Structure 1
């Protein structure tokens, strides 16, 4: 489901959306939130995301392959995708596109959720979620102790990085340069890979990251 908008020329287009439902409890969220859709919970509100686009899913899948492959090769921990639940604290429940938990903290993986904070969170943003991802989520992740938070914006072709050890939590936007993670030692990507159509072969990119020929 998407919101239908009529433009000045009379054309109907579908826009991504965030729907907020008030009056929920965390217990109700865990009982009723669907497993196949992105629903998040924060301080009495359920936040429902519009369905992901194919472009969004391709990009999330590409990043998951790279990060998961690297983390497994190095034995660093575990990588999860939403709608896996990251419980940052009681009353703050998010379903990030992609998040990493280092090996020493895997005891926080519970039956229904992962007890946070995560070490790394990545969100692929859209016009409908841009403000939510860059402002609201950044504040929540910073306050809950997420070490590194990246927002990938394909429309603007930029990645905004937030790091807990950086003043103001925000490092800045990157368009094409190489980006090295501080939360996942040794992991990096070429930001330019993210804007290619089609995306580059993920296995070739992973081998570059691992330093293989």
Structure 2
């Protein structure tokens, strides 16, 4: 869906006034409707979240959330990553209703209607506001691209397939079997 536009940029306060029956993101002061994810997206999200939650339980120090949970990057930028991780030393950015700064790791699962926004727009937004690692999960290709924040751009750390366990520079000892994540039920 095309963004809702006007000459004056919308703010987080405007965002809070939207009806709660739909999901929106606010990017550069423009509302973007985010459709409900389909079955494949939900299945991959559930499996990835399960594997990461198991990691978080055995490696203390990480807090995991999933969408819908607002990440307020600024007054005109509010997003809802599919999965996000915050190191416990930064837990002060977590409020009862939203995260008030960039998470350490943001994970987006590509969906046809939002993939361009996830790959291009959010990539720049996450870099600008300090996300350290950005994972782009491609259900069609069955890959996860792990990107690391550099000074001016995200660099590809590695593109993982079902043949290679996923590892992360920020998550020591993580060895995530993507066959489980992408498995059909």
1:56 to 35, 38, 41: 41
* Mapping of residues 1-213 of structure 1, within 5 Å: 18-23=1-6, 24-34=10-20, 37-165=22-150, 168-171=153-156, 172-176=158-162, 177-198=164-185
Unmatched segments (≥5 aa) in structure 2: none
2:173 alignment partner, SS class: coil
4+ long deviations beyond 4 Å: none
2:44–2:182 contact (8 Å) kept in structure 1? no
CA root-mean-square deviation? 2.0
2:62–2:86 contact (8 Å) kept in structure 1? yes
> Aligned equivalents of 1:39 and 1:162: distance in 2?
25
How has the CA–CA distance of structure 1 residues 76 and 33 changed in structure 2, closer, same or farther, with 3 Å as cutoff? Answer: farther
2:4–2:31 contact (8 Å) kept in structure 1? yes
> Aligned equivalents of 2:58 and 2:130: distance in 1?
26
Q: Kindly provide the CA deviation profile for residues 66-105 of structure 1, in whole angstroms up to 9, marking residues without a partner as x.
A: 1122213322131111110111233211101100011011
Which of the pair has more CA radius of gyration? 1
Unmatched segments (≥5 aa) in structure 1: 1-17, 199-213
Per-residue deviation, 1:110 = 1.6
2:3 alignment partner, SS class: strand
2:103 alignment partner, SS class: coil
Per-residue deviation, 1:42 = 1.5
Deviates more, 1:57-66 or 1:36-45: 36-45
1:19–1:49 contact (8 Å) kept in structure 2? no
TM-score (norm 2): 0.87
TM-score (norm 1): 0.77
How has the CA–CA distance of structure 1 residues 72 and 33 changed in structure 2, closer, same or farther, with 3 Å as cutoff? Answer: farther
2:166 alignment partner, SS class: strand
1:75 alignment partner, SS class: coil
